[in-house]
Chains A and B, each alone.
Chain A
Amino acid sequence: MSAGDYMRYLRARKGGPTPQEIEEATGVPSGAYRQIEQRYRAIGSEEDLIRLAEYFGVGLDDLTSRIEWSRKALSAALVEAVERDSAIELHLRSGHAVSGKVQWSDLGATLLRRQDGSTVVVQRHIVDRWQLSEA
């Protein structure tokens, strides 16, 4: 899960304050929070991330460690799984783990076909970690 996805998750868990409310509460520059959340990438200064981590009640490492697990990195892993025709195991923020071969993936979701033939659509924003299986 990217830092942006994670913060959207944290925002939802906190009751859904608006980005403007978060910026006013934390002193993050106007528009910065929305950019962090929507671009799905690691942006924003360390000072802003510290303020946001305090606001959401999580550790700073919890935010910064997600930089390398960005949506872009997930996209690369999904493409690689397709090219290698191998299964991928997705670890979700909800605690679930879903495994299967990638049938498609797009902006919001990816369809995996399990070994038993059933399909499951996983929302990308909930993917925390992933791991490619050997073919």
Chain B
Amino acid sequence: MAQDLWQLRRQKRMTIDELARTAGVHPALIKAYELGERAIPERDLERLAGAIEVDVEEIKELSDPPPRGPSRPAAPPAEDTEAPARSRYDSGSRFDSGSRYGGDFGNRPGYGRSDTSRSGFGGGEGRPSGFGGSEGRPSGFGGSEGRPSGFGGSEGRPSGFGEGEGRSNYGGGRPSYGEGEGRSGYSGGRSSGFGEGEGRSGYSGGRSSYGDNEGRSSYGGGRSNYGDNRSSYGEGRSSYGGGRSSYGDSEGRSSYGGSSDYRSGYGNRPSPRYDNDRSGMQPRPNFRQDRPTDRDRMDRRQDRPLKKPGLKRRPQVAPARPSQLEHLKILLQQLDMSGDDLLRLAGKPLSMLNRREASHLLTTCQEMIAERKPERPKGKRQRPYLPESVDEYELVYLTQVQLDGNPMQVTLFDGSRLEGVLQGFSPYALTLRTEADKDVTVQKLAIAFYEAQVNEAADDETDSQDEDE
């Protein structure tokens, strides 16, 4: 029995990168295959099978995504319990519309129950099925009138994809795939087929169809198919899309089932290029209206497997900086806090704090220290403890002395004295005019102290101004 690629890879204890290297397939592609985002094309199937050392048939062409973590809700069970569980179309939430199809198809069994088919879309076992053939003949897809036909076959002849007048009834008796007077169901904009009722072909509609490289919808993408507005077939990355897929596969390994019937429909012919060759197609109609709504997108998101699970991690906070810890220790000393107090405050030892916690703790400690300090009296200027930061008092004093014009006596560090009227000054020197009318500049470094007569009123005024500040 075929298994998912990821299962086989894990059984072989290989990483994606290892598998990619061995098989020569890009790791991103392998991820997409494993997540079921893309069907595995034949060429890659062979490579992967060779790398894992299994037969090609042992690998599911379209994997079910690996089980997710517990935080992701499981997919709801399919409503149609009659539908076979082996196809992705009825097992997952992506195609959770077993009942839809059933309803649309007149409550017939969902997607077919053919033993010969590996896909839900394969033919039916003599019963009319959703997509399967009818009238007891297994058909690839929508055979008509009891004859094996490829897809929307016509008049009993094996045909490619719905050329001719094939009448099949997918829509509860309505003509479908091939209907449209010789136009292929795939290309015909007028064909009804799946798009019946809205005047557009299921196959060609929207982002189309078989082999759409975008891997989008298959049967006409969008909603029109089967009249279901939320369509299923076309949804997301259906296996039909899958790019290369499907119908053109001469070995019948398509998502549609690859049954013998299917092969009979297509297998002996050159692979029709439904994926690329649109030369015979009519111009694409404007399907703007078929674009998925926001709600559709929401549904898709819910159904889509997680991209790169496990990569979204919460950013880790770096451990506390050494400077933070050092600062904390100093503050804790100021607070006279012991180790137990710290544990109560921080909830953990200092060494285990991260940067954010240390920052919070620093703030807390500083607030506690601020609360302990007595409030400073307002209105009274506090003199800085380090007067090195203030050099204005002497400036104010000397300015007043200079304005008064009173003589001043300067005593130098060697004990000598100098007397004169202050003419000017700088932070480093005084210039005095001596009695001999000579200007002498004395470096302050040479001065021990000086005395001068200062106008008391002016001095008081200076003091009051200082207090006002």
Interface of A with B (CB < 8 Å)?
8-9, 12, 40, 71-72, 75-76, 78-79, 82, 92-96, 98, 104-109, 111, 118-123, 125-126
How far, in angstroms, from A9 to B414 measured CA to CA in the complex? 11
How far, in angstroms, from A71 to B383 measured CA to CA in the complex? 16
Q: What is the minimal beta-carbon distance from A134 to any residue of chain B, in angstroms?
A: 22
Q: List 7 A-B contacts (CB under 8 A).
A: A78-B387, A79-B383, A82-B383, A107-B389, A108-B427, A111-B393, A121-B449
Q: B439-469 interface mask toward A, CB cutoff 8 Å, 1 = contact, 0 = none?
A: 0000011111111101000000000000000
B444 contacts across to A, CB distance below 8 A = 108, 123
Q: Is the CB of B397 within 8 A of A126?
A: no
* Main SS class of interface, A: mixed
How far, in angstroms, from A98 to B448 measured CA to CA in the complex? 10
Q: Is the CB of B397 within 8 A of A121?
A: yes
Q: Is the CB of B449 within 8 A of A123?
A: yes
The 10 A-B residue pairs whose C-beta atoms are closest, nearest first, are: A107-B391, A104-B393, A106-B393, A122-B449, A94-B448, A109-B394, A126-B448, A106-B390, A94-B413, A120-B451
Q: Does B415 contact A (CB under 8 A)?
A: yes
Q: Is the CB of B411 within 8 A of A94?
A: yes
Contact of B387 among A106, A122, A125 (CB under 8 A): A106
The listed residue with most A CB atoms (<10 A of its CB), out of B386, B391, B412, B448, is B448
Q: What is the minimal beta-carbon distance from B459 to any residue of chain A, in angstroms?
A: 9
Q: How many residues on the B side are at the interface (Cβ–Cβ under 8 A)? A: 28
How far, in angstroms, from A59 to B415 measured CA to CA in the complex? 23
The listed residue with most B CB atoms (<10 A of its CB), out of A8, A93, A108, is A108
Q: Is the CB of A75 within 8 A of B387?
A: yes
Q: Does B367 contact A (CB under 8 A)?
A: no
How far, in angstroms, from A104 to B387 measured CA to CA in the complex? 10
Give B390's nearest chain A residue, CB to CB. Answer: A106
Contact of A107 among B388, B411, B451, B454 (CB under 8 A): B388
How far, in angstroms, from A85 to B393 measured CA to CA in the complex? 19
Q: Does B375 contact A (CB under 8 A)?
A: no
Q: Is the CB of B388 within 8 A of A92?
A: no
The listed residue with most A CB atoms (<10 A of its CB), out of B392, B397, B415, is B397
Interface of B with A (CB < 8 Å)?
383, 385-394, 397, 411-415, 427, 444-452, 454
Give B428's nearest chain A residue, CB to CB. Answer: A108
Give A5's nearest chain B residue, CB to CB. Answer: B445
With known contacts A95-B415, A111-B397, A12–B391 Cβ distance under 8 A: no
Contact of B413 among A105, A120, A126 (CB under 8 A): A126
Give A95's nearest chain B residue, CB to CB. Answer: B415
B391 contacts across to A, CB distance below 8 A = 106-108
Contact of A71 among B388, B445, B450, B452 (CB under 8 A): B388
How far, in angstroms, from A75 to B389 measured CA to CA in the complex? 11
B390 contacts across to A, CB distance below 8 A = 106-107
Q: What is the minimal beta-carbon distance from A36 to any residue of chain B, in angstroms?
A: 16
With known contacts A123-B448, A123-B449, A106–B414 Cβ distance under 8 A: no
Contact of A75 among B385, B397, B448, B449 (CB under 8 A): B385
A8 contacts across to B, CB distance below 8 A = 445
How far, in angstroms, from A119 to B409 measured CA to CA in the complex? 11
How far, in angstroms, from A104 to B449 measured CA to CA in the complex? 14
How far, in angstroms, from A94 to B447 measured CA to CA in the complex? 10
How far, in angstroms, from A135 to B408 measured CA to CA in the complex? 30
How far, in angstroms, from A96 to B412 measured CA to CA in the complex? 11
How far, in angstroms, from A123 to B387 measured CA to CA in the complex? 13
With known contacts A75-B387, A95-B415, A12–B446 Cβ distance under 8 A: yes
How far, in angstroms, from A3 to B204 measured CA to CA in the complex? 95
